[in-house]
Each structure stands twice: as C-alpha cells, then as structure tokens.
Amino acid sequence: AQRRYASIRKEPAKTLCGTTIALHMNAGLMADLPSLQSSGAEGVGLFRTELQFLVRSKVPRRGELAALYSRVMEAAGDKRVVFRTLDIGSDKVLPYMKPQDEPNPAMGWRAIRVGLDKPGVMRMQLQALIRAANGRRLTVMFPFIAQLDEFRLARDHLLREIEREDRLGRPLPSKLEIGAMLETPSVAFAPRQFYELADFISIGGNDLKQFFFAADRENERVRRRYDTLNVSFLSLLEQIVERCRDTDTPLSFCGEDAGRPVEALCFAAIGLRALSMRPASIGPVKHMLRKANLAEARAVIDAARASGVQSVRPAVMDWLRHRD
Ligand code: PEP
Ligand code: MG
C-alpha cells in the first residue's frame, strides 16, 4: 500500500469526474515539516501553535517564537502555512498559567476567549508571526470563534499589530490572510458578515462534532456514539458549504475526520474542496478520491438520506464494496 501511495504522491487528488480536492497537512512541530515534501501535501492547513507553549516552563519569548515560525515558513518554501493562534486554557493548562477551576473545561475559558480577555500573550504571538514572515506571506487563523464579534476583535488585534510594525518601519507581510476556525455550531448560523469578513474558514471537526452532538471528544464512553456520517452532521456541513459558496469564502476541513478516506469522500461529495489531515493520511485519502465519482457518491448519500437512515455510512460502504 505504501508503494501505491508513493506512486501518486506528485499527482493531484483529482476525482474521476474531474474535481480536484486540495489536500493539506496538519502540523505542530518543526519536526513535522519534512512531511510536507514526503506526503505530497499542498501546504500546512493547520499549524497548532500551542505545543511550543506547552513544552516550556515559562512563556516563550517573542524572539524565540519568531525564530521558530520563521524556520517553519522557510521549510515550507512556496507552500502556505496556516498558523493557528494559541488554543489553550482549561484542559490544556500551561504550567505558568493560573489553573482555572472549571466544571466544563472544553466549554470554558479557552482559546480565543483567553486571547481576547487577556490579550498580552496573543499579541506577542501575533508580533512574532509578523516578524517571522519578514515580508513573506502570512496566514493566521483564530481558534474557537463562536460569534461574529469575537472574530472582529481578534482580527483587529492582528491589524493593529501590523500597523505597529509598519510604524516601526519593519517589513510587512506581502500578503495577509486572516481566517477563523468553525468549531461551534453557532457559527454555521452566524450573520453573513462573518463569512464576508473571513478570508477563509476551516472547520475544526473534532470540536464541532463534540458540540453538535453534546458528546465529549475525550470521553471514551460517548465519543464514538455519534457517527460523523450521521445525516444531521452532514446537513450541518452542507449548510456551512452553502454559506461559504454564497459569500465566496474559501472553506476547508481540518479535524481528524478529514484523514479518514470514507469521510473525506463524503465531505467532497457534499461540496468540500479542501481538507487538512495528518501527513500519513494524505496517501490513503488521495487514493480514495482518485477512484471516486463524486456525483455518484452524492447520489448514494442522497438516496440513503431519503430513506430515513441515521448515518449514510452503511450505504456508502455498500456502494464502495460493490463498485470495486
Ligand atoms: C478541531 O477541533 O477539529 C481541530 C482541528 O482543533 P483541535 O483538534 O486542535 O481542537
Ligand atoms: Mg479544536
């Protein structure tokens, strides 16, 4: 199987019906970067920046972070890297952060909520990113945005830091893209302005799914209870696809499910055109997509839905078995 994937490494994830799906990889460490070449990923669709904060006993310094981000951009060359700002708090407690005693940490004071309420660390991180870019393109994504104003405020922080760097006479990014992660169901129903303001949106399926089904992703007892291919979840994803299409907002999906071939195929069938996953999943997902006719997959999904099933998985699996 590894050889089969190696032979398509340089090929696009183009389906039988001629649709190309962009496959990106998720990363979080400098050590992940060599996979960008070996996996055939188009870029880094999600760079989780919290790891550098978790492995230290003190807040990392701006210079240190800037040097690291710069090395990441250097290693990526022409390929785009989407830097997600700190997704920290509650369960991912930094050694140097006052522990919060919260009954529901996943729904507590985390990610952008911390960043907006106590912006010091986030601003420092944004400065580090701008300096690392040093005149190159810069792509920043804010995690756990649950409503329009949070995105507006986060975006304003970044724009203010850009102005500040400009006043200091430092080089500005040649191109700046500011995106939001869609990880709470509320955002699927946000005002149109949210979609217009975002340069791109990436679905954080791990969190989105846990909040949609109210099933803790860390709790073994419930985490597999609800299928990603549940018809309700697919409808939610379709709603997001449509809103992005209406507003011309580039959309991708970066949760773990993007790296599962059957899920990836269904996501493509309902209109997703970019997926970001762990590097080892790129080969299997590409292989699946290259053998697929999306219109047929879509027809199978629609027929299953019309028949009143809870999940389209059995119908899709059945179709795949008979097709091959
Ligand atoms: C997600 O929630 O799907 C996601 C990509 O972010 P994380 O897994 O880091 O919460
Ligand atoms: Mg998340």
Instruction: Give ipTM to 2 decimals.
Output: 0.99
Q: Ligand 1, residues 54, 87, 187: which to mutate, most atoms within 8 A of Cβ?
A: 87
Smallest-distance ligand from the CA of 203: 1
Nearest CA residue ID for atom 6, ligand 1: 204
**What is the number of the ligand 1 atom nearest to the C-alpha of 207?**
2
Query: What tokens appear for 258 in the block?
Result: 């993007």
- Give how far Cα 237 sits from Cα of 121, 164, 180, 297, Å: 33, 38, 16, 16
pLDDT of 94: 85
Q: How confident is the prediction along the chain (324 residues), in pLDDT tens digits per residue?
A: 677 899 999 999 999 999 999 999 999 999 999 999 999 999 999 999 999 999 888 999 999 999 999 999 999 999 999 999 999 876 678 888 887 889 999 999 999 999 999 999 999 999 999 999 999 999 999 999 999 999 999 999 999 999 999 999 999 999 999 999 999 999 999 999 999 999 999 999 999 999 999 999 999 999 999 999 999 999 999 999 999 999 999 999 999 999 999 999 999 999 999 999 999 999 999 999 999 999 999 999 999 999 999 999 999 999 999 987
**What is the number of the ligand 1 atom nearest to the C-alpha of 204?**
3
d(CA 313, CA 303): 12
- Give how far Cα 257 sits from Cα of 206, 221, 229, 281, Å: 8, 19, 10, 10
**What is the number of the ligand 1 atom nearest to the C-alpha of 46?**
5
Question: Under a CB-based contact definition with an 8 Å cutoff, are residues 157 and 123 in contact?
Answer: yes
pLDDT of 95: 82
Q: How far is the CA of 78 from the centre of ligand 2 (A)?
A: 26
**C-beta of 206 in contact with ligand 1 (< 6 A):** yes
pTM higher than 0.80 = yes
pLDDT of 24: 98
pLDDT of 246: 98
Nearest CA-CA partner of 7 in 219, 290, 303, 272: 290
**What is the number of the ligand 1 atom nearest to the C-alpha of 205?**
3
Query: What tokens appear for 80 in the block?
Result: 């785009």
Q: Which residues surround ligand 2, an ion (CB under 5 A)?
A: 183, 204, 207
